[in-house]
Chains A and B, each alone.
Chain A
Amino acid sequence: MTGKPKLALYWAASCGGCEIAVLGIDERILKVAEAFDIVFWPCVLDGKVRSIEKMADKEIELCLFNGAIRTSEQEYMARLLRQKSKVLVAFGSCAHEGCIPGLGNVATREEIFQISYHDTPSTVNPEGTRPQAETEVAEGTLYLPHFYDTVKTLGQTVEVDYYLPGCPPEPERIWDALTAILTGALPPPGAVIGAQTTVCDECPRTREEKKIKEFKRTWEIIPDPEVCLLEQGIICCGIATRAGCGALCPTVGSPCIGCYGPNEGVQDFGARMMTALASVIDSDDPQEIESIISRGIPDPIGSFYRFSLAHGQLRRCALPLEADTLDATKAA
């Protein structure tokens, strides 16, 4: 064993892109390996949960945790790594604000199981088998992790020291953060490590005052390559999304979808998009306003909360009252 500080990386409810993004820092990963003793990284190294469980509290110097919390096993790991780490970083959009897994919060566990295990065209399941939390076999009881109704962010599950936004975080930003951690040049705990402004700041398109008469879907127009996409009616989340990516999407003609999350201090990303877009609708007539909104934004959750539903003030869609998965508290 070396005296190097210990580093752990973990992957909960996420796509794996964050793991690859870490390797996106290229050969500098060797510097990381030089500086840290990587004790846990299931994607890359063989490691045992048990050995983590046996560590002393705060024995791990730094844990980069990516992924949202969707199952009891993920929550367990979050709690475990929190307990064993000095600095816990919510790494990437899933851990930070729920991201795409968080969009599962438009449905209930029941609905998700129904679709996944029964309704998808590619599913063949004539017996109607479903994963069970407990299964009795001859040898005894087998357990599977408990699947939650609501995806939570890491920050809603355990105390988080820092957040690194992005889906996935840009390698350069990862390197910036690692450097900051290594050199101790850290912002106050609880902060997001990143820019303090939004994507427009990095976007090369020209911007004027805004008035929108019609929201358009991306397939409806071929956007002018020079002009702000929003001014052309395309819902571009660059206005509300934290800078850091270099405005990759709008630069190539695709609207920003908000993966870097909200700007500093914002409590609800969707609210920022809603209020900004509504403010510049070019109509004072209630009926016209309604039709501009309902025609142009058929999927408001997908448009405004693609990455942050779990992180928003409301966190999810209302659970159906009769759902049997409800906790007793709802009835009280």
Chain B
Amino acid sequence: MSDTFEPKIVAFLCNWCSYRAADLAGTSRIKYEPNVRIIRVMCSGRVDPTFVLKAFSLGADGVMIAGCHPGECHYLEQNYKAMRRYYMLRHTLRSMGMEDDRLRLQWASAAEGVQLAAAINEMIEQVRALGPLNWSANWHENGRRLEALGRLAQEHAEAMEVPA
């Protein structure tokens, strides 16, 4: 590729703090890189690890989970559950060979538009430095697969035919 790599980051933002921080970044005209695609959830506690895994398998280069600061969750304490799941997921992803920087847990209050924008930019830079994830490429088999399949059919036709 000739140009710089443009990572795709999927971000799950909670409705009350971090999504509002994104709104604030907008109304304050704080520029950040266009590589992030935001999904609104009511609470960071709604983020199912499956969402994260699915995003990675569908081609995301990084995933951000953002919620209210600890102790400030609009649902009292659900962001702690998001935090626990984040550490659990990171633990598993590490053993699958995924770099830590590709999954980020970010606290952002409704007043922290600047901070959220900076965190997004920082994450984009980190992921850009890591390069494309392209996870599903891990599944591709060696190019000789189809050849091998074809040979079996041929072999059977030649060798397994009992002469009359």
What residues make up the interface of A, taking CB atoms closer than 8 Å to B? 48-50, 53, 72-73, 75-76, 79, 133, 143, 145-146, 148-150, 152, 267-268, 270-272, 274-275, 277-279, 281, 283-284, 286, 289-290, 293-294, 297, 299-301, 304, 312-320, 325-330
Please report whether the interface of chain B is mostly helix, strand, loop or mixed according to DSSP.
Answer: helix
- Residues of A with C-beta under 8 A to B91: 290, 293-294, 297, 300
- Residues of A with C-beta under 8 A to B160: 48-50
- Residues of A with C-beta under 8 A to B57: 313-315
Among A146, A152, A290, chain B packs the most CB atoms within 10 A around the CB of A146
- Residues of B with C-beta under 8 A to A72: 145, 148-149, 152
Q: Is the beta-carbon distance between A76 and B152 smaller than 8 angstroms?
A: yes
Kindly identify which residue among B88, B137, B138, B156 contacts A293, using a CB–CB cutoff of 8 Å.
B88
A279–B45 alpha-carbon span in the complex (Å): 9
What's the least CB distance linking A51 to chain B, in Å?
Answer: 9
What's the least CB distance linking A329 to chain B, in Å?
Answer: 5
Chain A residue with Cβ nearest B155 = A143
What residues make up the interface of B, taking CB atoms closer than 8 Å to A? 48-50, 53-54, 56-57, 70, 77, 80-81, 83-85, 87-89, 91-92, 95-98, 134-135, 137-145, 148-149, 151-153, 155-157, 160-162
In the complex, the number of residue pairs spanning A and B with C-beta atoms less than 8 Å apart equals 147
A152–B138 alpha-carbon span in the complex (Å): 12
A179–B77 alpha-carbon span in the complex (Å): 49
- Residues of B with C-beta under 8 A to A300: 88, 91-92, 95
What's the least CB distance linking A298 to chain B, in Å?
Answer: 9
Kindly identify which residue among B56, B95, B140, B142 contacts A317, using a CB–CB cutoff of 8 Å.
B95
A2–B137 alpha-carbon span in the complex (Å): 48
Q: Is the beta-carbon distance between B89 and A274 smaller than 8 angstroms?
A: yes
Q: Is the beta-carbon distance between B140 and A268 smaller than 8 angstroms?
A: no
